[in-house]
Amino acid sequence: MFKIVEKRKLAENIYEMKIAAERVARAALPGQFVIVRVSEGGERIPLTIADYDVEAGTVTIVTQTIGLSTRKICALEQGDYLADFAGPLGRPSEFVHMPLEELRAMKYLFVAGGVGTAPVYPQVKWLKEHGVECDVIIGAKNSDMLIYTDEMSKVGNVHIATDDGSAGYHGLVTGLAKELVEVEGRKYDECVCIGPMIMMKFLTMTTKPWNLKTTVSLNALMVDGTGMCGACRVSVGGKTLFTCVDGPEFDGHAVDFDEAIRRQSMYRNQERTAVENHEHKCKCYGE
């Protein structure tokens, strides 16, 4: 059992939890994920690590209430326990293996959308700790949906974009990226993008004419997190790979996003049915 030592609401239907998981915290690296189960026999939920504290022995996860299982996770409170918290899994971000001299000569642009801002944070934090400055674009529908802006400002140079213009740049993250590169003339060696699949697709289309290496995280495709179910298959450079064991990060310019978007929607009807059945039972039993 893994204790929730802290919980806070970041935005509507988005919650951050710090989990007591000493072994996971000691081994975790940016880009990796954990498998969470609320209870015995519950669904396995892959969640990208949002932070980790080796001294405190905690790992931070950020969850949005989308399906039934994520609703159950978010319904737990500080002091409650998760049945399973397995990890770290997946391949860490490529830069953690680079020679420091080479890494410190690079300039990174991170583009984060919505809940994808959470897994961007440990990457930017790790780079800051190793002497690498990063520009970070954080995008959301409106100012109320922005998360991790304060935390990110402590480790990177933050630029905000909101669809409705309620904070920062009025428009999409792709437009703000163009402002930085084409108008301000900023030069980058690599772009890392984590967020909704459609956002990552159009961001890679934006960076391709610049010949800017762009890494994306396809964590939203994962189901069981071990490669056994095959649900997270993705075509990268014409090859079939598994997000959970070969990723979750890939060359964005080589990803078949149209296929990935179709695959992401495969279980939407089942999720909707599960949520409706659960709500019906709750009403019947007065929960």
The domain boundary, picked from 89, 113, 142, lies at: 89
Domain CATH for 153: 3.40.50.80
Same domain flag for 64 and 16 = yes
The domain boundary, picked from 127, 158, 189, lies at: 189
Same domain flag for 104 and 162 = yes
Residue 283 pLDDT class (50, 70, 90 cuts): very low
The domain boundary, picked from 172, 189, 206, lies at: 189
pTM of the model: 0.87
Same domain flag for 99 and 178 = yes
Question: What is the extent of the structural domain holding 68?
Answer: 2-89
Domain-located, residue 240: no
Domain-located, residue 245: no
Digit-coded pLDDT (tens) for 124-173: 999 999 999 999 999 999 999 999 999 999 999 999 999 999 999 999 99
Same domain flag for 98 and 72 = no
- The reply to whether omega before 30 is within 30° of 0 (cis) is no
Domain-located, residue 9: yes
277 has pLDDT over 60: no
Domain-located, residue 162: yes
Same domain flag for 131 and 81 = no
Q: CA 71 to CA 76: how far, in whole Å?
A: 9
Same domain flag for 64 and 20 = yes
Interior/surface letters 58-85, b for 16+ CB within 10 angstroms, e for the rest: bbbbbbbbebbbbbbbbebeeeeebebb
Domain CATH for 58: 2.40.30.10
282 has pLDDT over 50: no
Same domain flag for 139 and 84 = no
Domain-located, residue 26: yes
Digit-coded pLDDT (tens) for 56-101: 999 999 999 888 888 999 999 999 999 999 889 999 999 999 999 9
Digit-coded pLDDT (tens) for 36-61: 999 888 888 889 899 999 999 999 99
Residue 265, Cβ density class (10 Å: 0-12 exposed, 13-18 middle, ≥19 buried) = exposed
Per the structure, how many domains does the chain have? 2
**Helix residue ranges, H only, the chain:** 22-27, 68-75, 100-103, 117-129, 149-153, 173-178, 197-207, 243-246, 257-264, 268-284
* DSSP SS3 for 101: helix
Residue 262 pLDDT class (50, 70, 90 cuts): confident
What's the pLDDT score for residue 224?
A: 66
Same domain flag for 100 and 182 = yes
Domain-located, residue 83: yes
Same domain flag for 135 and 119 = yes
Residue 287 pLDDT class (50, 70, 90 cuts): low
- 274 vs 26: which has the higher pLDDT: 26
